[in-house]
DNA sequence: GTACGTTTAAAACAAATGTTTATAATTTAA
DNA sequence: TTAAATTATAAACATTTGTTTTAAACGTAC
């Protein structure tokens, strides 16, 4: 057995199980038995379950950030000081997101993991992602800022997260939704088809008219 | 001690802890100790942890569906055969969602629970919600259909879920986002303020131009 | 081939989990 | 007031969890 075969097999199995059932609901014994690997191997190679979770993310996010940085480099060079249009930015991001997991297991797993990273407690994960990959997001949102000068900063911040919510929520719950869509509308939808559907919606969301100024600020509900 | 005091105290504590940490990450001992109630009380009053989770949801969703049905009754009567405009439908739904938890703990908890119901495994919960509250959603989406006749059925289906994703994702992760927004833009945002921000975005998303017809269907990625 | 660092293996550990049981306390009704 | 039903309590139960330990197998360089 090659030296890193165990590590790879653990990661391959873990990412699928995590995506299917969440982090807390997936035991190391489930992972190791399905991967046909000894239980202690996880702690030996990764140190702890937390580190394993982080390693699963790193295997997607490391190549993604690297590629996305060069994509942004290319764009900045091509537009040479000119403002990069919003749709170009969004399209390139989508394309990069699609490319990275294409070689590996599946995009579905990746998006589901991203959704979990948001929704599950796992404070250590949020910290890890923020710390290791926060800079790419900063660079991207700075470009988005130049592309949407008409938006107030706070408004753009919220809309980016609105859009992020749409994408992650949809793609991470894709399986269930796809089943319904296929049953009710007899239509098989691929991930790429979904992204074609998302594009006009996302662009329209970012370019929606500004909300009316809030005159009263006597908000009560927390 | 009043007879149902224990039940109420368990529910009050459980919903907060569930919303903070998720279902699997919240132990019955944590709930009962914080609620100053005996551990066995949960199994005595609710039967199991799963049933407790369902009861937490029922306490929000039962009054919501009841109210929303009468709201829809009123609307149908007021528009008497005429098509109810999309914005009216969305506004009324938002208002109903806001009203129900206003009297109780907080809207934040409710939305966070909804987000968890989607993202956590908890197959029993999805089944429970579908079975008990599926009819309201059916009625609502049928009205949305009449309000957006220009949308193909499948497209409307997906856009409704896009929008649902935005709202649940944003409101369920509200705390973290609000902290950032307040720190970076020095702006305190209330839930109602957020909904004012969401309204134009949601409407724009639903009315976005249709995606181009997909000519090639040779999708590869799963 | 021997010695040494690395990896795998089986077993055991300590802690935490949901649930059940047996008993005590309390409320309810007659 | 007393008998019965309901609710609260403490303890124990049986699993499951992540982690550690100890020893065996493996590979590699001298």
Largest CA distance in chain A: 69
Q: What are the tokens at A214?
A: 């809030």
| Distance of A113 CA from D28 C1′ (whole Å) | 39
Q: Are A202 and A87 within 8 A, CB to CB? A: no
Q: Does B194 touch chain A (CB under 8 A)?
A: yes
Give the gap in angstroms from C-alpha A162 to the nearest C-alpha of chain B: 5
B196 interface with A at CB cutoff 8 Å: yes
Which CATH entry fits the domain spanning A1-47: 3.40.50.880, 3.40.50.300, 1.10.10.60, 3.40.50.620?
A: 1.10.10.60
Is B169's CB within 8 Å of A164's CB? yes
More confident residue, A162 or B170: A162
Condensed to tens digits (0 to 9), the pLDDT of residues B43-71 reads 999 999 999 999 999 999 999 999 999 99
**Which pLDDT belongs to residue B185?**
85
Put simply, the answer to whether A184 touches B102 (Cβ < 8 Å) is no
Higher-pLDDT residue of A148 and B188 is: A148
Q: Which residues of A touch B119 (CB under 8 A)?
A: 22, 115-116, 118-120, 172-173
Per-residue confidence (pLDDT) for residue A103, from 0 to 100 = 60
Yes or no, beta carbons of A200 and B210 under 8 Å apart: yes
Reported confidence tier of residue A217, pLDDT bands at 50, 70, 90:
very low
| Mean pLDDT rounded to a whole number for chain A | 87
- Domains of chain B by residue range: 1-47, 56-208
Cβ density class A32-54: b for 16+ within 10 Å, e for less: beebebeeebbeebbeebebbbb
Q: Which 50-109 residues of chain A touch chain B by CB within 8 A?
A: 98, 102, 106-108
Would you call A173 an interface residue with chain B, using a CB distance cutoff of 8 Å? yes
Q: Which residue has the tokens 């662009």?
A: A203
Nearest Cα residue to A129 out of A48, A72, A58:
A58
- In angstroms, the separation between the Cα of residue A208 and the nearest Cα of chain B is 6
pLDDT of residue A144: 95
Q: What is the pTM of this model?
A: 0.86
Q: What is B56-208's CATH number, 3.30.750.24, 1.10.357.10, 1.10.3720.10, 1.20.1250.20?
A: 1.10.357.10
pLDDT digits (tens, 9 = 90+) for B98-134: 888 766 657 888 888 888 887 776 678 888 998 999 9
If you average pLDDT over residues A156-175, what whole number do you get?
86
A interface mutation test: which of B130, B177, B197, B202 has the most A CBs within 10 A? B197
Give the distance from residue A104's alpha carbon to the nearest chain B alpha carbon, in angstroms: 10
pLDDT tens by residue, A72-125: 999 999 999 899 999 999 989 988 988 887 666 578 888 888 888 877 666 788
Question: Contacts from A184-189 at CB under 8 Å and sequence distance 24+?
Answer: A184/B153, A184/B157, A185/B153, A185/B154, A185/B157, A187/B154, A189/B154, A189/B158
Mean per-residue pLDDT, A172-194:
80
- The shortest CB-CB distance from B158 to any of A116, A118, A197 is to A197
Q: Which of B211, B212, B214, B215 to mutate to test the interface with A (most CBs of A within 10 A)?
A: B211
């Amino acid at each position: 057995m090659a030296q890193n075969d165990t590590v790879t097999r653990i990661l391959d199995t873990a990412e699928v199980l995590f995506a299917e059932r969440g982090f807390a609901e997936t035991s190391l014994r489930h992972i190791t038995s399905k991967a046909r690997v000894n239980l202690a191997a996880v702690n030996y190679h990764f140190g702890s379950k937390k580190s394993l979770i982080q390693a699963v993310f790193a295997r997607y996010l490391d190549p993604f950030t690297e590629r996305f940085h060069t994509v942004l480099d290319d764009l900045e060079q091509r537009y040479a000081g000119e403002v990069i249009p919003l749709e170009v930015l969004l399209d390139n991001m989508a394309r990069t997101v699609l490319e990275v997991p294409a070689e590996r297991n599946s995009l579905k797993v990746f998006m589901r993991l991203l959704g979990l990273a948001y929704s599950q407690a796992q404070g250590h994960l949020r910290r890890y992602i923020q710390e290791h990959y926060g800079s790419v997001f900063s660079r991207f949102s700075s470009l988005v800022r130049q592309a949407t000068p008409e938006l107030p900063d706070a408004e753009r911040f919220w809309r980016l997260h609105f859009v992020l919510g749409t994408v992650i929520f949809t793609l991470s719950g894709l399986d269930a939704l796809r089943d319904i869509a296929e049953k009710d509308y007899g239509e098989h939808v691929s991930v790429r088809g979904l992204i074609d559907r998302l594009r006009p919606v996302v662009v329209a969301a970012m370019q929606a008219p500004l909300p009316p100024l809030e005159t009263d600020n006597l908000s009560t509900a927390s």
